[in-house]
Each structure stands twice: as C-alpha cells, then as structure tokens.
Amino acid sequence: MTEFLTFTLAGLVLGAVYGIAASGLVLTYNTSGIFNFAHGAEAMFGAFVYWQVHVSWGLPTWLALIVVIGIFAPLMGGALYFVIMRGLRNTAEVTKIVVTVAVLLGSVALSQWIWDPLTPRSIDLFFGPTKKVEIFGAFLSYHDIITLFVAVLIIVGIWLLFYKTMVGVAMRGVVDDPALLQLNGHDPQRTSALSWILGAMLAVIAGVLITPISGGSLDANALTLLVIDTFAAAMFGRLRSIPRTFVGAIVLGLASNYVVGYFPSDWSWTPNFRLSLSMIVLFVVLIVVPSGRLTASATRTRERYRVPTLRMALIGAVALIVTVVLIRQLMVVEDITQLALGMTFAVMALSLTLLTGYAGQPNLGVVSFGAVATVLVFHNGLTGYRVSDTMTWWGLLIAVAITAVVGALVALPALRLQGLYLALATIAFGVFISRMVLADIGPHKLFGMKFSLFTQGSLTIPALKVGPLDLRDPTTFLMSVTVVFAVLGVALIALRNSGYGRRLAAMKDSPVALSMLGQNLIGLKLGVFALSAAIAGLGGILMSTALGTVNVGNFDILLSLSLVMLTVSAGIGYVTGALAGGVLAGVGFAVLVGTFNNLGTSNPGSASTYSALASFITVLPAVIGITIGRSPSGFLHELFEGYRRLLNAKPVLIGGALVEALMYVLALTDTLDNWWFGITTFALLFLLPVFGQVFMPAAMRAPHESVAEPDPIWEDVGITTPYTLDLRTELDRRLGLPAPATELATRRPSAVAAGSRGV
Amino acid sequence: MAVLETRGISVRFGGLTANDDVSIDIEGGAITGLIGPNGAGKTTLFNVMTGLQKPTNGGVFFDGQDITGISPSRRAQRGLGRTFQRLELFLSLSVRDNIRAAGDVYNANHRGNRVKVNAVTDQVLGLTGLEDIADQDVADIPTGRARVVEVARALVGQPRVLLLDEPASGQTEHETEVFTDLLKRLVAEGLTICLVEHDLPLVMAVCSRIHVLDFGVLLASGTPAEIQANQQVIDAYIGTAEATK
C-alpha cells in the first residue's frame, strides 16, 4: 500500500509539472495559432538562467525566482513574439512549425555557447531534499507540495483569465477572427504578445520545477526534449482545453511511475519502455481523438514555387553530376567522404520535398525513418563476414519497402487530423525510435531467439556491392549517391508534373475542395507519406554507409529538425532546396565549425576569436531558420528569381561564368586554396544577380513586370492598412467591377487644372 | 422525382441550432433554389448534403439511397458536386491545372475507364468560357470569374447533382447573364442543380422550385410565383413590426 501511494504521489507531481508545461503550449497555440515547438527550449533556458542567478551569483531563492519568472521569462516571450512570430501571418502551417523549430535549435546552440556543456551544473529541490512530510508512510517533499500547489493555482488562474476578464475573452477570440476582434476595439497584437509572455512564464516555471525532480542536473538537450513528453497531454486536451490537458498530464505522470513500480524489473525492456511511454501514449491518444471536421481553408499564403519542366530537370541533373565530378578533382579522400555524407542527407531531404513541398504534410522525424531502414538492412541485408561483408541490393530494397510500411503505420492515426498532429506524431516517433529501438542494446530472449535491435549501441554498415559496382571506393560512392539524388530529383519533378502531382498540390491548397471532387484524402496522404518514408529510408541507409559505423547520436531527433529547418529555409518546394538543405545540415555547418576550430588551434594568439566564430556558426542555422517568415519560399526562390532576370543581362552572366572558370583552374593547379575557392564561388553565386542590377539595371527589369508592391493583407485594408485609391482600384479589379476609381484618379487633377484655369 | 433529398435534418452547434428539422427535395433535371437571409443555415445544409457536416438528426438520400453515413469523397464519386461560398480554389495552380486536377481525381477513381484529361479540360474551358484566362494563375483572376472556375472544376467529374453556393456573388451584371445562360444549358443537358443565392432576380428566373430557410427552419417551398406571394417569406426578408427576436 505504501509503495502504491509512493508511486501515486510521485506520479501526481510529475503529472502536475507536465500539466504546467502543456498548458503553456495550449495557451499560446490557442491565442496565436502557432504551436510552439520551442516551448521546451524556453523551459530549458529558464532553468539555466535560474542556475546562473541562484547558484552562480548566489541570489536567494525568492529573489532568483522573481528575476527568472517575473523579468526574464516575460522578456523572452515578448521578444519571441515581436521579433519572430509576428512576421508569420499568412504563411503555411509548415512554415510556422519550422520557425519555432528554428528557435528550439537556436536556443540549444546558444545555451551551449553560454554554458559549456562539459561543466556539470545542477539545481536543488526547494528547501532541500530533507524537508518532507509523511503521508501514510509515503513521503512528499516540500518541493513536491509546491509543485502541486502551483499547478492548481495555474489551472484556476487560467480559468479566471479566460472566462472572467475582458482580455481573456479577447484571447479566446483572437485566433478565430483577428479582424473582428480589432473592430471591437481590441488589439490582436497585444493579445497575442500577452499569450507568448504567459506561455514563456509557464515554460520557465515548468523548467525550474522539473529539473530537480528529474535528478537536478542541467542538460540542455534533455530539458528541451522534455516538452515532447507533454505533447500527449496537450493532444488529450485536443490542443484547446486546459482542464483536459491537465487530466491527460496527470494520467501520463501516474502511468510513468506505475511502469517503474510494477513492470517486471527483470524484463529487459522496462527502462526503455518507461522513457518511451509518453510517445506510446501519444499514439494511443491520436487514435482515440475524434477527427476534426474538414473545413474551408484555402487562403493565399506567401509561399510561391515555380514548377520546373522535365527538360529543365534533366538539364539540372546533368549539371549536378558534372559539378560534382569537377569538385571531386579538387578533393582529397576525406573531403570526398564528407561531400558524399552531405549528399546522403540531400537524399533524405528529398523525402521532404515530396511530402512537405509538394503535398504540404510535415514530417519532423525524417532521420528516424533512416534509422529504421538502417536497422532493417543491418539485420537482413548483409552478406559476407567481417572485413569482406557487403550490403546486398535485395536487402536494401526490402529495408526500404518495410520502411515505407512503417511510415504508413506511423502516419495513419494522424492523417484524419490537421497537419500539426502529423508533425507531433512524427517528432514523437523520432524520440520513440531513439529511446526504444536505438537504445535496445542488450540481448533479449524471445521465442527462444536471442537478439537485440541495436546491438551493443553501434552498428557497422558495410557498403553495397552489386556486380562490378562496389561502393566501398569513396569516389564510386560519391558519384553513386549523386546519381541517386539526380535520378530521384528528376523522378520527383516528373511526378509533380503528372496528375498525381497535381492532386498533391491541390490537396496542399484546399483539401476540402479536393475531397468534394471525389478524392479520398486519407488514401492520398497515406500513399505520399509511405513513398516519402521510403526515400528517407534509402537516404538513411546511404548515410549509415557513408559513416561506416552508426550510433544513437547519428539519428538524433535534433538532426531531423535541423534537416527540416534548413530544407525549408532553402526552399522546400524545390529539389534544389533538398540539395542545399541536405548538404548544409549534413556537413556544411559541421565543416565550417571544424575549420574555425582548426584555425583556432593553429593560431593560439587569436584562438578565442576563432572559437567565438565557431560558436556563432553553430547558432547560424537557427538564425537562418528564424528569418523564414521574411521569405517563406526560401532563399533559393529569391536566388532563382534573380537569375531569371539575369538571363536578360547576358554579359554579366557570361562574365560571372568566366570568373568562376578561372578560379576553378587556379584551384585545380593549387594556386588558390580550396577554402577560398569555396567562399568566392558562393559569394559569386549569390552576388551575380546584384552585379546585374548594378551594371545593367535596365535589362534586369523584365518588360511585363511592373515594379509591383507586395500584396497587402486584404483583410486589413481599411482597418490597419490605409484605404488608398490604388488599393480600391485593385479591389475593384479583383471583384471584377468596372473601374470608376481609376477614371476618378486620372480625371481629378485635370479637373483641378481646368478649374484653376477657369478662374 | 427527387434526386437528392434531406429528411428531418437538424444540426446543433452547442446552443445554436443551424438547421431544425429541414426536409427538402431537389428535383432531377431542374434548378432548385435555396434562399434565406444570412445565417439562415443554407451553407450548413449544403455541408450536410455533401458530408462535410454530420447532422445531429435526420438523413440525406441520393436516388432514394441513404447516404448520411458515407464520406464526402464517396458522395462526390456517386455524382454530387459542389462549389464554395468562400472560394476554395487550388491557389498555387493555374486555371487550367485547377480543372485538370479534377480530371486527375476522376481518373484515379476510374482506373478502368479513364478520360483524356487534357481533352476534357479543353472542352470544359470552352463550355464555361474560360479559355482566355486558362493559363493565368488562379490566384490572380477576379472573384466573378473564379466562381466560374469552381463550376468548371466541378463539371469535369460529370456530376449528376451540382450544389452551387452563391455562384453569382462577386460577378458583374454581364458575367451573371453569361452565367445564367450556362446554368440553363447545363440543365438542358440533364444536370440537376441546387442553387444558394442572394441574387433573387437570378433565382426567380432560373429556378423551378424554391425552398426558403429562416433561422434554420424551412419556411416555405414552392414555385417562384408561390414564394413571391408568400407573406411569411416577405416578412422574413423585409421584417415585420413585431419581428424583433
């Protein structure tokens, strides 16, 4: 009985913290329409700042709490809203998801820059571990009691805020109709800002409370991912109801503790099962959550992608292969292997081009599908022994096919709900794979067979060998991966130009209209998800081959997140976006960081400068991701537009090509360092449209294009945007009305002129 | 005889009753009008008929068969097409590709009996008079013509019943005239149409029967002449001295 009570009390306390964290998520989502994947990162940052203020600077607990919850958290939440989130209106759901993911990654990088992860830090229970009360033989520490009390306070507080105050009513309304709210005299910006501030405060409270409960030591990654454990609770509240969210959280907390208490301790799966429990619960909740109603949804978002023709795709594929061959000539073996690794990431990113770019469905656990395929190929697809072992082509195919089925099974429960649920399901799947499958290193006995999924914590994946094609040679491997990417890329563009591709695009734009044409949406989504999981699986196997030996760190969920983020930043609607995003995520930034660290070691005098630069580059990807709101179609889209114009300024284009050719020759003859060749090539690539603008401004302006203003947000015209004659003319044009406004505009000055002449 | 029928449809959202025991029938090969003031529950009834909204009570019958439980896409496959009051176009595609997408869906559902998507698209573009803007981005065309694109898109799958939700709003007078002609031609070819519309002259001109909804309740059903003479309908539209609820 005492034992049961102990587990129950611990479960209630854990559930209370989960509830506090999840309620912040739900609150922010409901008032700003943005699901904050960085909520855990906020909690983590809060805990670190609390450590800094309380432990490092020695402020008393109460003062430290005031500083962290009362000053730091509101500043953080407000800054997030005003600097980043406010710019996300009229963007696709995927863009919103990716921006908060970028904040998550940036926070982790920034915290590791400020607080060196190699130094251990910890925070204590409030009032220390000795202060506790006894309840029928079970113990509850003062910290636990405070946690429970705070949870109750928050539930009551949020209820009072939402139902008893004007600002709360406004907060509930702001997502549904910001324009209406504004007409009623509320400022939707202030309401949204308030929700981000409250969300940040709840996150920080959760962070400060949970760190001592879960051991006390501060670990940026672990704390950031902790919020994923609360997704199931938020989902149980259907992302709307705070009370239901708390119920879900309590159930989750209790279940985790009962698993520890009552699962057979000799069962080898128990510890991993406990860690994955919230992911399993999340999938159960997904299955039982009632489907949302299919509603009208087509709004014009700011993302724009041009679909290349098949001919252009083929030209691009050949150009890519030629480029890689040329670059290969400049490289030593280690570099070739690095570039090949980057290309394998690009293959994984292609799965996102198909799924997210074409069909509008998110997947935040891409690399984990690569892990599934890798485990499968390790167990079933190898032949030979030790040094001479190789991968078989049929083993590869079977692994990829099974990964497609796994993908379908993962996606199935989420598909009848909105895209956000799929994002949550895939991120949970990623964590599940890391905690359950890849952590399965010890042997089990099942049906008399002794096995473990991820034997001893690392798998050695040999290269594929089919007939004369032996991928163990680095150059052969690089070229093979490049060809795989090129072929898949062309295939995807052909797919996008086919009827199937049009149906995917239509589903992305208006699912409700497509279903009213007779399309079974779940079938279409399921098919495309399975196909994209297969591509991710293939990319994952290639990545594992490139690495040779893989461990759990190679399939970290943060890797999936940065892959998604960089691919979206580059342009997820484009195959080239996958290339840029994949290479950047796979090796690009790692290479830069490594270069700066090497420079630091070889120049001890300016080592601190170089290490600061290296740290800055670890934060850089997130900075790029955060700016997606400004150009949601990705930086490649902007670049392509520049080059389309540059086609009219041939001399500049030819000049650029000549300079690049010259530099290549210099690099080939070792006159120019590879590093400088790389920098100047990228600079030239991005600056050439600018040069065109400078040298031949007339040619750069396409004849049919006027220098148009960006589209105003039509709902705001007359509310926050001044109602000008131009806007009225444009509205009339869109509504197909005759245009008296323009006549008025041209007539008025002349009438005035005539009038003055008359007098 | 009635091709599409609702029997005792009620839809309640919490305390709000959007439809209350509504039974209407839509005659085959004719245009049926569904009118009523804003908020009368017309679009809700469309959503019930097409399966986007589950009714709290009542059933929907297509060719005498109960289709209340089947999915929107299944209903569409059986021959129920619709357009949307708030346009639901595929905004990243051109006008032509919007229509081709409908052909692609048709082919995906009729593997043994495919149509030539490009030919059908050209035919529909010609029928609806959209050839001049076929290759423009659908996001850039005026609302009045965008409504025609929705109709064109719905026609590709050769529906038997077409539900049009305020197709004339946003159209110029001239566009409405052309559109009226199109509707008449479609009906002459055997299509059944149900029309939600605020342009009463249009409704009176093309409909053979009209149902009037007010506050979710079916107020009256009859020919245009009967409806125009119905005192209750006049009160609902113009308001009476004591109607202050």
Q: What is the pLDDT of residues A164-208, one digit of tens each?
A: 887 777 777 666 666 666 667 677 788 888 999 999 999 999 999
Chain A residues with beta carbon closer than 8 angstroms to that of B54: 293
Nearest CA in chain A to B176: A736
Query: Does residue A733 sit at the B interface (CB-CB below 8 Å)?
Result: yes
Dump pLDDT digits (tens) for A647-706: 888 888 899 999 999 999 998 888 887 777 888 888 898 888 888 888 888 777 655 544
User: For residues A64 and A51, what is the distance between their CA atoms, to the nearest angstrom?
Assistant: 9
pLDDT at A278: 86
Q: Which segment, A47-56, A269-278, A334-343, is predicted with the most confidence on average?
A: A47-56
Interface mutation vs chain B, best among A291, A294, A303, A517, most B CBs within 10 Å: A517
Query: Does residue B49 sit at the A interface (CB-CB below 8 Å)?
Result: no
Chain A to chain B Cβ contacts (< 8 Å): 126
Closest Cβ–Cβ partner in A297, A515, A736 for B143: A736
Nearest CA in chain A to B52: A294
- In this prediction, residues A496-508 reach a mean pLDDT of 94
More confident residue, A671 or A76: A76
CA distances, B74 to each of B51, B81, B193 (Å)? 9, 11, 19
Nearest CA in chain B to A573: B92
Gyration radius (Cα) of chain A, Å: 28
Give residue A727's identity as a one-letter amino acid code. L
User: For residues A377 and A539, what is the distance between their CA atoms, to the nearest angstrom?
Assistant: 13
Query: Does residue A739 sit at the B interface (CB-CB below 8 Å)?
Result: no
Interface mutation vs chain A, best among B80, B105, B178, most A CBs within 10 Å: B105
Residue B84's nearest CA partner among B196, B198, B210, B215 is B196
Q: Mean pLDDT score of chain B, rounded to an integer?
A: 91
Q: What own/partner pairs with CB < 8 Å and gap ≥ 24 does B197-200 have?
A: B197/B33, B197/B35, B197/B164, B197/B166, B197/B167, B197/B168, B197/B169, B198/B35, B198/B166, B198/B169, B199/B168, B199/B169, B200/B35
Put simply, the answer to whether A505 touches B139 (Cβ < 8 Å) is: no
pLDDT at A710: 53
Put simply, the answer to whether A502 touches B100 (Cβ < 8 Å) is: yes
User: For residues A264 and A257, what is the distance between their CA atoms, to the nearest angstrom?
Assistant: 13
Question: How does residue B188 score in pLDDT terms, banded at 50, 70 and 90?
Answer: very high
- Chain B, residues 142-161, CB within 8 A of chain A, namely 142-145, 150, 153-154, 156-157
- Chain B, residues 159-198, CB within 8 A of chain A, namely 170-172, 175
Closest Cβ–Cβ partner in B82, B97, B103 for A516: B82
State the DSSP H helix or E strand holding residue B6, giving kind and residue range, or none if neither: strand B2-13
- In this prediction, residues A159-166 reach a mean pLDDT of 82
More confident residue, A743 or A249: A249
Helix (H, G, I), strand (E, B) or coil at A710: coil
User: For residues A561 and A605, what is the distance between their CA atoms, to the nearest angstrom?
Assistant: 36
Dump pLDDT digits (tens) for A569-612: 899 999 999 999 999 888 877 777 777 777 777 777 777 777 77
- In this prediction, residues A29-45 reach a mean pLDDT of 90
User: CB–CB of A353/A307 below 8 Å?
Assistant: no
Put simply, the answer to whether B142 touches A297 (Cβ < 8 Å) is: no
Question: How does residue A755 score in pLDDT terms, banded at 50, 70 and 90?
Answer: very low
A60: left (phi over 0), alpha (psi -120 to 50) or beta: beta
User: CB–CB of A515/A331 below 8 Å?
Assistant: no
Closest Cβ–Cβ partner in B84, B90, B144 for A296: B84
pLDDT at B208: 94
Measured between its terminal Cα atoms, the distance across chain B in Å is 37
pLDDT > 70 in chain A, percent: 89
Q: How far is B188 from chain A (nearest CA, A)?
A: 23
Question: How does residue B105 score in pLDDT terms, banded at 50, 70 and 90?
Answer: very high
Closest Cβ–Cβ partner in B73, B88, B98 for A519: B73
Angle, CA of A321, A327 and A329, to the nearest 5°? 110
- Kindly provide the residue ranges of all beta strands, DSSP E only, lying in A654-753, ordered along the sequence: none
Is A751 a residue whose pLDDT tops 50? Answer: no
Closest Cβ–Cβ partner in B107, B142, B145 for A499: B107
CA distances, A576 to each of A137, A486, A572 (Å)? 64, 10, 8
Query: Does residue A710 sit at the B interface (CB-CB below 8 Å)?
Result: no
User: For residues A203 and A549, what is the distance between their CA atoms, to the nearest angstrom?
Assistant: 38
User: How many other C-beta atoms lie within 10 A of the C-beta of residue A223?
Assistant: 25
A418: left (phi over 0), alpha (psi -120 to 50) or beta: beta
User: For residues B245 and B242, what is the distance between their CA atoms, to the nearest angstrom?
Assistant: 8
Dump pLDDT digits (tens) for A520-558: 999 999 999 999 999 999 999 999 999 988 888 889 898
3-state helix, strand, coil in chain B (%, to 5): 40, 25, 35
pLDDT at A706: 45
Interface mutation vs chain A, best among B50, B91, B130, most A CBs within 10 Å: B91
User: For residues A240 and A227, what is the distance between their CA atoms, to the nearest angstrom?
Assistant: 17
Residue A310's nearest CA partner among A483, A495, A484 is A495
Closest Cβ–Cβ partner in A297, A300, A736 for B170: A736
Q: How far is B107 from chain A (nearest CA, A)?
A: 9
Query: Does residue A240 sit at the B interface (CB-CB below 8 Å)?
Result: no
pLDDT at A387: 61
More confident residue, B70 or A452: B70
Put simply, the answer to whether A505 touches B101 (Cβ < 8 Å) is: yes
pTM to 2 decimal places: 0.87
User: For residues A703 and A583, what is the distance between their CA atoms, to the nearest angstrom?
Assistant: 36
Angle, CA of A87, A88 and A90, to the nearest 5°? 120
- Chain B, residues 70-99, CB within 8 A of chain A, namely 71-74, 76-77, 81-82, 84, 86-93, 97-98
Q: How far is A311 from chain B (nearest CA, A)?
A: 19
Closest Cβ–Cβ partner in B90, B109, B144 for A506: B90
B164: left (phi over 0), alpha (psi -120 to 50) or beta: beta
User: How many other C-beta atoms lie within 10 A of the C-beta of residue A57?
Assistant: 11
Helix (H, G, I), strand (E, B) or coil at B25: strand
**How many H-runs (helices) and E-runs (strands) does chain A carry?**
31, 10
User: CB–CB of A684/A660 below 8 Å?
Assistant: yes
Nearest CA in chain B to A517: B76
User: CB–CB of A206/A43 below 8 Å?
Assistant: yes
Chain B residues with beta carbon closer than 8 angstroms to that of A572: none
Buried b (16+ CB within 10 A) or exposed e, A474-505: beebbbbbbebbbebbbbbbebbeebbbbbbb
Dump pLDDT digits (tens) for A398-436: 999 999 999 999 998 888 887 888 999 999 999 999 888
User: CB–CB of A327/A472 below 8 Å?
Assistant: no
pLDDT > 90 in chain A, percent: 36
Helix (H, G, I), strand (E, B) or coil at B202: helix
